[in-house]
A and B are shown apart, each in its own frame.
Chain A
Amino acid sequence: MSVAAGSGPVDAPSLPEPITRPKGVLTFLRRQPLTFLVVSAVLAIYLLVAVTGPWWAPYPPDELLTGDPFAPPSWDHLLGTDNFGRDVFSRLVHGERLVLGLALATAGLSVIVGSAVGLLSACLRGWPDEVLGRVLEILISIPPLIIALLVLGSLGSSYLLTISLVALFFAIRVATVIRAAALDVVVEDFITLARLRGEPIWSIAVREILPNVSSAVLVEFSLRTGYAVLFIGGLSFLGFGPAPPTPDWGLMINEGRTYISTAPWPVLGPALALAGLVVALSLFTERISEVLGLSAQRAPSQ
């Protein structure tokens, strides 16, 4: 049913490529293609900026009139200034912590909840698994963006609400993937043995199955982080994220849109930063799923 997402001709039922355990980090890195190294470096820079940025950013994020409004990029203002004369580069650097933090929190929560549900369902087997599978199928057909807009619009946006809401939508998808992976494992003999030994169900889930689906969990986390940047960015672009003057990237794009014909840089900066982050995360996911022998689940609807 599903088509192998690899590109190579893998017709022969050959043995899986022997995964040689890397002797050291350096040997492992030397074996990676250049793009992967570049992508990892880019992600490392994003992370570094998120952690250290506020210490070295040239201006505070919401200081008004650091220069003329709409000043074009210059040495004083690397990415120019916006309509309030705020330094776009500083805002970008300050906002990164928020963008990355929200995405990681969302992805982390969704992977924890989703994996727990998926593992539990696969462990229970029989009718509870059947029912849970059906429930997941129903939940997956709920349009995430529309419901998220309704809830955030009615309750008002907050970090906690956004994280839990988006994590909930993602958890449904994670649970489906992990359940499928775990269902392949539960039929193995060592699980039957564990059951006969009288191991409690949570122990089977955590100690027997989880280690065997850990690569799927890892890929899901990486994939969901990228999707979370996208989804939350979209929400704040639509005005359902943090309130001004937060230097959130989606919000910056939204605010700068009005003046795009006068000064494109307040939009261009966050737009390219966001695109770079998502592309890097996507290429990273691609590669680690290849290394771990999985194909990242990609469907156009998030």
Chain B
Amino acid sequence: MRYALRLVVSRLGLAVITLLAVSLVIFWTVELLPGDPATRILGQDATPERVKVLREQLNLDEPALERYTDWLGGMARGDWGDSIVAERPVTDYVLPRLENTLILAGYALALYIPLSLTLGIVTAVFRESRFTVWLSAAVLVGTAVPEFVVGILLLLVFAVTLPWFPPLADIDQTQSLPDLLHKLFLPAVTLTLAMTAYAVRMMQSSLVSVLESDYVRMATLKGLSRRRVILRHALPNALGPALRVTVLNVAWLIGGVVLVEVIFTFPGIGQLLIDSIRNLDTPVIEAIALIFAAVYILANLGADLVAAGLNPRLRAGGR
């Protein structure tokens, strides 16, 4: 137990160090690049007065280290500064977009969990059937095809050729739930398909090895029903690796969501990040990048802890 606690604490420490390192990278990339940020934002032919005002607005005359700590402290306190383009607090600007992205990601995860569980079990249990061979091939292809290609193809087939779904997944507060689910279906499915492909592959291989282990054979020989053997005896032991992939999938969603939001012009933070980079809206870029990085690091931390929890040698006290 003490060992487990030590593991969690050291992992957590590492995650905090990583987050600090990433925040430094983000800050350095955005602010300390060659050339004066104020001039970069306003363009080469800006008047010196305007540059001066913007420099003051961005606190550019303070030393870099001080600006970094100010920024990080502000982020932690919930004071994210003002957007240069929208001229209002970044929080007002980013949080509604974050909510949209979370709705989309939640929708994708809600589709993903039952789908990958079912397919994982089916491909493992009926591993010798023809259908499974084809399904496994499809899954393999699914892990390889880039998500923006999948998104484009889905858009082409189910929004352009067959007008079943809208090509633009905009979202507003007045929509009813069925309407929302309908509008967000294509982007959510794009994310789901990519995640499912990884999870099914992982689940299948772990479930197959469990199904062929002695204790499962024993349970079958004892005369338990096939259903009971699979669901009560085999599945719990195969879920661990699947859980780990699921957590890693959340980390993957960070990148996936940016591409998918752009394809379906969805008003989430991925789209906002791209727009802000184009507009050089530094406070917004920094805030979104830090949010993404934090989720990515937390998901990786979660996956590490799940993996550690699954390793009996580590669980028992380790070396």
A interface vs B, CB < 8 Å?
1, 3-7, 9, 11, 134, 137-138, 140-147, 149-151, 153-155, 226, 230, 233-234, 237-239, 253, 257, 260-261, 264, 267-268, 271-272, 274-275, 278-279, 281-283, 286, 298-302
Q: How long is the Cα–Cα vector from A62 to B33 in the complex, in angstroms? A: 34
CB distance from A132 to the nearest CB of B (A): 14
Q: How long is the Cα–Cα vector from A274 to B145 in the complex, in angstroms? A: 8
* A3-B205, A257-B263, A279-B141 known; A145+B21 contact, CB < 8 A: no
Interface centre among A144, A151, A226, A271 (most CB of B within 10 A): A271
Q: How long is the Cα–Cα vector from A230 to B144 in the complex, in angstroms? A: 9
Beyond A7-B205, A147-B289, 18 additional pairs, beta carbon < 8 A? A3-B202, A3-B206, A9-B209, A11-B212, A141-B22, A142-B21, A143-B255, A145-B258, A146-B293, A150-B285, A153-B278, A260-B152, A268-B156, A278-B146, A279-B145, A283-B140, A283-B144, A302-B252
Q: How long is the Cα–Cα vector from A264 to B249 in the complex, in angstroms? A: 31
* A4-B205, A260-B160 known; A278+B29 contact, CB < 8 A: no
CB distance from B22 to the nearest CB of A (A): 5
Q: Mark B240-258, 1 if CB is under 8 A from A, else 0.
A: 0100010011011011001
Q: How long is the Cα–Cα vector from A288 to B211 in the complex, in angstroms? A: 27
Q: Does B135 contact A (CB under 8 A)?
A: no
B140 touches A286 (CB 8 A): yes
Across the interface, B205 reaches (CB within 8 A) one of A1, A6, A154, A226, namely A6
* A1-B311, A238-B274 known; A298+B143 contact, CB < 8 A: yes
Across the interface, B208 reaches (CB within 8 A) one of A1, A9, A268, A279, namely A9
Q: How long is the Cα–Cα vector from A155 to B33 in the complex, in angstroms? A: 8
CB distance from A281 to the nearest CB of B (A): 8
B interface vs A, CB < 8 Å?
14-15, 17-18, 21-22, 25-26, 29-30, 33-34, 127, 136, 140-141, 143-146, 148-149, 152-153, 155-156, 160-161, 167, 194-195, 198, 201-202, 204-206, 208-209, 212-213, 241, 245, 248-249, 251-252, 254-255, 258-259, 262-263, 273-274, 277-278, 285, 289, 292-293, 296-297, 300-301, 307, 310-311
* A237-B148, A278-B144 known; A146+B289 contact, CB < 8 A: yes
A138 touches B206 (CB 8 A): no
Q: How long is the Cα–Cα vector from A297 to B254 in the complex, in angstroms? A: 20
B300's closest neighbor in chain A, by CB?
A141
A155's closest neighbor in chain B, by CB?
B33
CB distance from B208 to the nearest CB of A (A): 7
**Would you mind naming 27 contact pairs between A and B with Cβ atoms under 8 Å apart?**
A1-B311, A3-B206, A9-B209, A9-B212, A134-B14, A137-B14, A138-B14, A141-B15, A142-B22, A142-B25, A146-B254, A146-B293, A146-B296, A149-B258, A149-B274, A153-B285, A154-B277, A155-B34, A234-B259, A237-B148, A238-B274, A253-B152, A257-B152, A275-B144, A283-B144, A300-B249, A301-B296
A1's closest neighbor in chain B, by CB?
B311
Q: How long is the Cα–Cα vector from A149 to B280 in the complex, in angstroms? A: 12
A280's closest neighbor in chain B, by CB?
B144
Across the interface, A144 reaches (CB within 8 A) one of B29, B33, B255, namely B255
Q: Which residues of chain A are near B127, meaning CB under 8 Å? A: 7
CB distance from B96 to the nearest CB of A (A): 20
Q: How long is the Cα–Cα vector from A123 to B289 in the complex, in angstroms? A: 36
Q: Which residues of chain B are near A147, meaning CB under 8 Å? A: 22, 25-26, 29, 289
Q: Which residues of chain A are near B249, meaning CB under 8 Å? A: 300
Q: How long is the Cα–Cα vector from A268 to B273 in the complex, in angstroms? A: 27
B208 touches A7 (CB 8 A): yes
A154 touches B296 (CB 8 A): no
Across the interface, A150 reaches (CB within 8 A) one of B26, B195, B255, namely B26
B252 touches A264 (CB 8 A): no
B204 touches A302 (CB 8 A): no
**When A and B form their complex, which 7 residue pairs have the shortest distance between CB atoms, in order from nearest?**
A153-B277, A282-B144, A300-B252, A145-B255, A143-B296, A300-B198, A279-B144
Q: Which residues of chain B are near A279, meaning CB under 8 Å? A: 141, 144-145
A261 touches B254 (CB 8 A): no
Q: How long is the Cα–Cα vector from A283 to B127 in the complex, in angstroms? A: 20
Q: Which residues of chain A are near B167, meaning CB under 8 Å? A: 260-261
Q: Which residues of chain B are near A154, meaning CB under 8 Å? A: 29-30, 33, 277
Across the interface, B201 reaches (CB within 8 A) one of A134, A260, A298, namely A298
B289 touches A234 (CB 8 A): no
Q: Which residues of chain A are near B34, meaning CB under 8 Å? A: 155
Q: How long is the Cα–Cα vector from A6 to B205 in the complex, in angstroms? A: 7
Across the interface, B149 reaches (CB within 8 A) one of A144, A271, A286, namely A271
A146 touches B292 (CB 8 A): yes
A141 touches B297 (CB 8 A): yes
CB distance from B33 to the nearest CB of A (A): 5
Interface centre among B213, B245, B296, B311 (most CB of A within 10 A): B296
Q: Which residues of chain A are near B22, meaning CB under 8 Å? A: 141-143, 147
A147's closest neighbor in chain B, by CB?
B25
Q: Which residues of chain A are near B15, meaning CB under 8 Å? A: 141
Q: How long is the Cα–Cα vector from A16 to B66 in the complex, in angstroms? A: 59
Q: Which residues of chain B are near A278, meaning CB under 8 Å? A: 144-146
Q: Which residues of chain A are near B301, meaning CB under 8 Å? A: 141
Q: Which residues of chain A are near B143, meaning CB under 8 Å? A: 282, 298
CB distance from B126 to the nearest CB of A (A): 13
CB distance from B312 to the nearest CB of A (A): 10
